[in-house]
Amino acid sequence: MTTVSSPLTGRAIGLAAVPDPVFSGAMVGPGTAVDPVRERTEAVAPVDGIVVSLHPHAFVVVDSEGHGVLTHLGIDTVQLNGEGFELLAAKGDTVTRGQPVVRWDPAAVEEKGKSPISPVIALEATAEALGDVLEDGDVERGQALFGWS
């Protein structure tokens, strides 16, 4: 069982509330989403593992069981071309849960007309594989979002 923890402090809202049909329809995979606090912050690794994909607006960490977790910082933020995002890790790095990966400012993303809501997705998983999915309420960075068996 892999516990996936929140990369951000904010409010858990569940995938259905994400303003993007690809995420809200769980087409990328099951999981949940965090509406982050509006302050400059660091998105941290949700699991121990290896950074296999890294962009200013999104990263994937794969744990020792082969579970890949996508953290997508905001919606349509790829259109910002990295502006306002600072990489704190590199592709191929081994990271520990809670280690900062990207520094960003959700308020600045919002000012540019994008949603800062951040999906946290279990890649190549079935909905049945996830348990105790947090879909509402306040969440602290590092707090469990869901379990993945």
Instruction: Write a three-state SS string for the chain.
Output: CEEEECCCCEEECCHHHCCCHHHHCCCCCCEEEEEECCCCEEEECCCCEEEEEEECCEEEEECCCCCEEEEECCECHHHHCCCCEEECCCCCCEECCCCEEEEECHHHHHHCCCECCEEEEECCCCHHHEECCCCCEEECCCCEEEEEC
Catalytic machinery residues: 72
Nearest Cα residue to 146 out of 73, 59, 69, 64: 69
97: tokens are: 């849960």
Alpha-carbon distance of 79 to 28, in angstroms, equals 19
